[in-house]
């Protein structure tokens, strides 16, 4: 019967290696992002609650997807005019 010796320094070196020490820094991004999302959701809810039927949609949206599409189409047209299509 072989008796195995427990090497505690080996376990601690594996747990606290450099590769694993950055994980808490990476995972802290998730709660921060969630918090910012909740704050933005509350802001948008308050903004929408203040609108009435007369001024519905008058406020500027958080992200104008149509403007992004127009900008992309303008860049695409400029690339086509230069002759460099991708």
| Chain segment 5-39, per-residue pLDDT in tens | 555 555 555 555 555 566 777 788 899 999 999 99
CA distance 29 to 21: 15
Contact 43, 50 (CB under 8 A): no
Q: What is residue 2's DSSP assignment?
A: P
Q: How far, in whole angstroms, is CA 6 from its chain's centroid?
A: 43
pTM of the model: 0.44
Residue 54, CA atoms < 13 Å, CB-side half-sphere: 0
User: 73 or 84, which is more confident?
Assistant: 73
């Amino acid at each position: 019967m072989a008796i195995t010796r427990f090497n505690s320094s080996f376990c601690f070196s594996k747990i606290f290696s450099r590769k694993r020490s950055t994980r808490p820094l990476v995972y802290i991004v998730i709660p921060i992002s969630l918090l910012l999302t909740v704050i933005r959701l509350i802001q948008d809810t308050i903004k929408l609650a203040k609108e009435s039927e007369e001024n519905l949609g008058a406020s500027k949206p958080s992200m104008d997807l149509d403007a992004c599409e127009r900008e992309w189409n303008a860049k695409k047209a400029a690339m086509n005019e230069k002759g460099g299509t991708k």
